[in-house]
Amino acid sequence: MLRRILLIVGLLIVAGAVSFWLVTMPKKLPAAVLTAGYRPNLANGEVMFNAGNCSGCHITQGQSDRTQLAGGLKLESPFGTFVAPNISPDPKAGIGAWSELEFVNAVKRGTGRRGEHLYPAFPYASYALMKTSDVRDLFAYMKTLPPSANPSPPHELSFPFNVRLVLGGWKFLYFKPQEFVADPNQSAAWNRGAYLAEGAAHCAECHTPRNALGGPELDKLYAGAPNLEAGGRFATNITSHPKDGVGDWTIEDMAGLLATGMDRCFNEPTGMAGVLASTSKLSAEDNTAIATYIHTLPAKAGNGKHKTC
């Protein structure tokens, strides 16, 4: 009898483990997403590069050339320290040997070229909204940038966060990939701004607080995040709340911040230098589009003492 019970328990454990793996295993897009006849648009790739602020994390700290993506930036978090990797086109130290499909899967599914889960410090939860053609253009543009042979240091994470398998559970809870769908009831500018802000620019990734598992608190979307980095910067409330957020800003105020790096009070927002260095390279139309969308975010109270201006 005992042997039968142990056998049943063992089978249940195995079945549970197999089920967990099947549900949480790394997912990949099929090769068919790379449609035939595609020709890279390098200018659009540069737009995606700047909108995504790729250089904000992947340049070496203190470096002035924002096209040298040698990595090395350390991002401290409650889970340990994430180290931004080399994503230059170097074939050994960077992503120069990656295929286009491997890059697309990393960006849109958070799956590395060896089939491993990537940590969501790389904001693929937002990048998944991007059109595959835009990701392909981004990859083509990045291949034109200077290579760097600097090796990528490993992340500094303790158990269990250093076990990538557990990321499958995180993805199961919080990662629901889908491409952006335009709202026919909104203007072209609003939809462009929503696409950039929600996708490539991943604004919510920083401006939304996270729970103990690192999942976004969606009821506080864009309402400000006190733990952007362990003991570090505070990401402000950018909803339309008039007291705690930016509800008293105009679209022109917001677009001006993105274009010049200075808010309407002529201040340089703390911790935004890297982001604004990238948005300053976007067109006036794209910055106005992002501002148009941000201006319509539902008002949410919270963290008023950190109000921008």
pLDDT in tens, 140-168: 999 999 999 989 889 998 888 888 888 99
Residue 17 has pLDDT above 90, yes or no: no
What is the domain extent for residue 52?
Answer: 38-174
Cis peptide leading into residue 146 (ω within 30°): no
Pairing of strands 74-77, 80-83: antiparallel
The verdict on 170 and 238 lying in the same domain is no
In a domain, 273, yes or no: yes
- Tokens linked to 228: 């952007």
In a domain, 49, yes or no: yes
Q: Whole-angstrom Cα distance, residue 245 to residue 272?
A: 16
pLDDT tens-digit profile of 199-228? 999 999 989 988 988 899 999 999 888 755
Name the helix (H) or strand (E) containing 75.
strand 74-77
Please name the residues in contact with 184: beta carbons below 8 A apart, sequence gap of 6 or more: none
The verdict on 72 and 149 lying in the same domain is yes
Please name the residues in contact with 88: beta carbons below 8 A apart, sequence gap of 6 or more: 68, 69, 70, 94, 95, 96, 142, 145, 146, 147, 148
Please name the residues in contact with 4: beta carbons below 8 A apart, sequence gap of 6 or more: none
In a domain, 3, yes or no: no
In a domain, 218, yes or no: yes
In a domain, 199, yes or no: yes
Overall domain count for the chain? 2
In a domain, 21, yes or no: no
How many other β-carbons are positioned within 10 Å of the β-carbon of residue 5?
9
Q: Whole-angstrom Cα distance, residue 13 to residue 7?
A: 10
What confidence tier does 263 reach under pLDDT thresholds 50, 70, 90? confident
The verdict on 282 and 208 lying in the same domain is yes
- Candidates 66, 26, 202, 234; CA nearest to 129 is 202
The verdict on 52 and 159 lying in the same domain is yes
The verdict on 204 and 128 lying in the same domain is no
pLDDT tens-digit profile of 278-295? 999 999 999 999 999 999
Q: Whole-angstrom Cα distance, residue 54 to residue 277?
A: 11
The verdict on 262 and 164 lying in the same domain is no
